[in-house]
Chain A
Amino acid sequence: MSGLFYGLEIARSALTVSQKAINLSGHNIANANTEGYTRQRLNMNSIEPSSPNVHLSSISKGNVGGGVESSAVDQIRSDYLDRQYRTQNTKLGYWQTRSEEMEYIETAVNELSDNTSISSTMADFFNSLSNLAGNPSSEEIRTTVQQNALKMTETFNQYYNQLVEMQGSYNDAMSGTVDKINNLISGIANYNEQIYAYELSGEKANELRDNRNLMIDQLSELINVTATETTDGKMVVSCNGTDLVNHTTATLLEARPELTGEVSGQSGYYQIYLNGTNNVFSYSGGKLQAYKDLRDSTSVDNIGIPRILQSLNTLAQNVAKQFNAVHSTGYTMPYGTQTSQTGINLFEVPVGGYSDITAGNFTLSSDVLDSVYNIAASSKLIDLSAANTQEGNNEIALAMVTLSSRTGLPTVGSFENYLKSAMVEVGTESTKCSENAKSQQTVVENVEDRRQSTSGVSLDEEMIQLVAYQHSYTAAARVLTAIDEALDVLINRTGRVGL
Chain B
Amino acid sequence: MRITSGMVMDNYLKNLNKNMTSMTSLQYQMSTGKRLNKMSDDPVDAMSVMQYRVKLYKSEQYKENVDNGLTLLDQTESSAMELNKVLQSAYETALEAANDYVTDEDKTSAAALIGQLRDHILTIGNAQSGDQYIFGGYNTKKAPFSVDASGKPLYNGLDLTDDTNAALIAESDTSIQYEMGFNLKMSVSVNGAELLGTGDDNIYTVLDNLYNALNSDASAEEISGYADKLQDSQSHVLSVLADIGGRENRLELVSNRYDEDNLMYTDMKSKLEDVDQAEAIMNYKMSEYVYNAALQVGSEILQPSLVDFLK
A interface residues with partner B (beta carbon < 8 Å): 32-33, 102-103, 106-107, 110-112, 114, 119-120, 123-124, 126-127, 130-131, 133-135, 137, 378, 380, 386-395, 398, 401-402, 405, 416, 420-421, 423-424, 426-428, 430-431, 434, 445, 448-450, 452-454, 456-461, 463-464, 467
Contact sample, A vs B, 12 pairs, CB 8 Å cutoff? A110-B39, A112-B273, A120-B57, A127-B60, A387-B142, A390-B138, A391-B141, A394-B177, A402-B179, A405-B182, A456-B4, A459-B4
Q: How far is the CB of B87 from chain A (nearest CB, A)?
A: 26
Which residues of chain B have C-beta atoms less than 8 A from A33's C-beta? 6
CA distance A135 to B306 in the complex (A): 87
CA distance A464 to B305 in the complex (A): 11
Q: Could you say which of B10, B39, B42, B305 contacts A423, with CB atoms under 8 Å apart? A: B39
Q: A393-B138, A463-B310 are in contact. Are A130 and B179 (CB under 8 A)?
A: yes
Which residues of chain A have C-beta atoms less than 8 A from B171's C-beta? 388
Which residues of chain A have C-beta atoms less than 8 A from B38's C-beta? 103, 106-107, 110, 112, 427, 430
CA distance A378 to B138 in the complex (A): 9
Main secondary structure of the interface of A (DSSP, over half): helix
Q: A388-B157, A392-B139 are in contact. Are A120 and B6 (CB under 8 A)?
A: no
CA distance A334 to B157 in the complex (A): 20
Q: Is B137 an interface residue (CB 8 A)?
A: yes
B-side interface size class: 35 or more
CA distance A163 to B39 in the complex (A): 17
Q: A33-B6, A119-B54, A460-B5 are in contact. Are A424 and B140 (CB under 8 A)?
A: no
CB 8 Å contact bits of B54-78 with A (1 = contact, 0 = none): 1001101110110010000000000
Which residues of chain B have C-beta atoms less than 8 A from A388's C-beta? 136-139, 142, 144, 156-157, 171
Q: Is B147 an interface residue (CB 8 A)?
A: no
A-B complex: 8 closest residue pairs judged by Cβ atoms: A387-B157, A427-B39, A392-B140, A456-B4, A430-B40, A388-B156, A388-B139, A393-B138
Question: Contact between A454 and B2 (Cβ–Cβ < 8 Å)?
Answer: yes
Of the candidates B39, B58, B142, B171, the one having the most CB atoms from chain A within 10 angstroms of its own CB is B39
Q: A112-B50, A392-B140 are in contact. Are A386 and B43 (CB under 8 A)?
A: no
Which residues of chain B have C-beta atoms less than 8 A from A103's C-beta? 38, 40
Q: A449-B11, A463-B310 are in contact. Are A424 and B43 (CB under 8 A)?
A: yes
Question: Contact between B140 and A391 (Cβ–Cβ < 8 Å)?
Answer: yes
CA distance A457 to B2 in the complex (A): 10
Q: Is B99 an interface residue (CB 8 A)?
A: no
Which residues of chain B have C-beta atoms less than 8 A from A461's C-beta? 4
Which residue of B has the minimal Cβ distance to A384?
Answer: B141
Question: Contact between B57 and A127 (Cβ–Cβ < 8 Å)?
Answer: yes
Q: A430-B39, A434-B40, A457-B6 are in contact. Are A424 and B46 (CB under 8 A)?
A: yes
Q: Is B88 an interface residue (CB 8 A)?
A: no
Which residues of chain B have C-beta atoms less than 8 A from A452's C-beta? 4, 6-7, 10
CA distance A110 to B50 in the complex (A): 11
Which residues of chain B have C-beta atoms less than 8 A from A389's C-beta? 139, 141-142
Q: How far is the CB of A25 from chain B (nearest CB, A)?
A: 13
